Structures are given as C-alpha cells and as structure tokens.
Amino acid sequence: MRRRIIAGNWKMNKTVSETRDFVNGLKPLAADAECEVVLCVPFTDVAIAAETAKGTNIHVGAQNVAWAESGAFTGEISASMLKDVGAEFVIIGHSERRAMFGDTDATVNKRLKTALGAGLKPIVCIGETLDEREGGKTEEVLARQVKGFAEGLTKEDMEKVVVAYEPVWAIGTGKTATTEVAVETVKFVRSVLAELFGEVANGVRIQYGGSMNGNNATALMASGDIDGGLIGGASLKPEEFIKVIKA
C-alpha cells in the first residue's frame, strides 16, 4: 500500500521568522494527518523549519541540490550541507529549474544520484508544456524524462524516489488537468517505470503537481492512482495547506 505524500513547494517565499510562524501554525492542524507531510522551503529556511518541526510528523525538504559535493559551483548547495541543516527531502528537476535555470534530463539524473547517495529523499519532477500536450507529445516527453532521470538507477534506488507529475501548463495558472487526464497520465508514467524497474513501479509514489488545492484534491486522488500532491500556492497558508492534507 503506497502511503500518500503531500509536499508543499514554497518556491521563493517566506523569511526565517515567517517560516517559524508557519510551522508552528501547521503543527496542531497536521497532528493527525494520515499522509506524509513535507515542506520544501528555500535554503535559508531549512534549518529553522527543521528545528521548529522537530518531534512532529512534519518533514522538511529543499528545492534543489548540486550534483557535486563541493567546489567551484557558485550559488549551488550540496547534499551534505542540506542534510547538516535538517533537510530530509529535496525537489529535483522542477519545471521552473528546467525552464529558467538550465536543468536538463542529464543534470536532473546527476542531482538525483547525488541526493540518493547522501540519503536524501528525492521528489523528481516531470511534465509537459501546453504546446507539447496540444501537439500530442505528452507521452513522448514524459517517457523521455522518466528514462532520463532513471538512467543508471537500481531497483533499490527507485524505491526511494517520489515522482511528481506536474503539467507545466497547470503550474501557478489556476488551470488543473481534469481528473481523468491526470489519472490517465499518471498511469502512463507508472507503465514507463514498470518497463524499467518491473514490479518496483507498483510501489513508487506518484504525485500530481498542477494547481492542486483543497477544492480539487479529493477528486484528483479518489482513483487511488495519484499518491499525493506537490503543492505550490496552496501550501503558503497553513489553513489552505491543511485542506489538501485532509483531502
């Protein structure tokens, strides 16, 4: 049975003091959560989020990780640095990183292997643009991205990976894939994983990440094929985030 996982991606939002207040506000609300709850926060907030969440069921993650352990990589941050300040999870390959900061299938694969080697739990993002979907290329794009991030991974590695399917056209736009489209696409992603890893694919958790909120989360996860959400805007207020967690 795959345990559901709801992860908040704060993107570039919240100061240290705002993070402390948020986590303190979320703790009583999420105390009885029946899913895994993760907050993926800016690098500057990881330590305070982890400290404030200590002893609770709230897990903390970062939003990117370098593929190198140290060296001349200005602006990057290593897996050991993240672990040292309390990160447990890390987002890799978010569409904004791919579109604006040059991440490719190859660099996502390198970051993923580094995260796994350090004991971080990766949330790897895949997804198609609107042009790709309208052009009938969704499956082609997703298959390429899955095979790209999975290159060189063992079955044991894959068991530790969470996959986030995030249609790029639905991120931060208020648009959401219909339940049918989201479920169909997630099933396709799992079929590609099955080609690569056999039965292990049945245990891989696949989230939906495209404007999921408290109003649509129940419908999106009702089929049992979608194992949670990577939540953007709705994760920035405890009272909104908890609606998705409860759903």
Summarize pLDDT for 89-136 with one digit per residue, the tens: 999 999 999 999 999 999 999 999 999 999 999 999 999 998 898 899
Element (H, E) at 39: strand 36-40
CATH number at residue 90: 3.20.20.70
Residues involved in catalysis: 94, 166
Q: Which of 179, 194, 173, 193 is nearest to 225 (CA)?
A: 179
Q: What is the pLDDT of residues 131-141, one digit of tens each?
A: 898 899 999 99
Q: Which domain holds residue 137?
A: 5-246
**Pairing between β-strand 228-231 and β-strand 36-40 as defined by DSSP bridges:** unpaired
Q: Structurally, how many domains does the chain consist of? A: 1
Nearest of 121, 122, 118 to residue 108 by alpha carbon: 122
Contact call for residues 176 and 211 (beta carbons, < 8 A): yes
Under the banding of pLDDT at 50, 70 and 90, the label for residue 170 is: confident
Put simply, whether the predicted model's pTM sits higher than 0.75 gets the answer yes
